[in-house]
Amino acid sequence: MARLDLSCGGVIPMHSHSGASEILLIPEGSINAGFISLNNIAYTKTLKKGDIMVFSKGLLHFQVNSGPVPALLWSSFSTSNPGLQVLSNALFSNNLPSG
């Protein structure tokens, strides 16, 4: 389980966990969260205090605090080694030859 403090305007960029599903709880504040389904449909939701969202293993997902106050998030995974791949790093910070 991990505690995430997301300041106003804070972003957890699009990422995935190849080894685990994730459950996200919002005990304070509100955030916009979303994921992209396996058939490339984007789903977004404003999560408020007390809300939860589940991200299936391997799905790309993100969180943004666009609210007026900091948000507290608790994240838990279905395994102790969920893995992490941040999409922007995978696309633009890889070691593929560029020319």
28 assigned to a ligand binding site: no
**What residue ranges do the domains of the chain occupy?**
2-91
4 assigned to a ligand binding site: no
Looking at domain 2-91, what is its CATH homologous superfamily? Jelly Rolls (2.60.120.10)
For residue 45, give both structure tokens.
């939701």
Write down the pTM of the prediction. 0.89
- Express each pLDDT in 74-88 by its tens digit: 999 999 999 999 998
User: Which residue, among 50, 46, 78, 44, has the nearest Cα to 65 in the 3D structure?
Assistant: 46
Mean pLDDT of 2-23: 97
Give residue for tokens 């992209």: 36
φ, ψ of residue 92 in degrees (nearest 5): -115, -5
Residue of 99 and 44 predicted with greater confidence? 44
- Express each pLDDT in 37-71 by its tens digit: 999 999 999 999 999 999 999 999 999 999 999 99
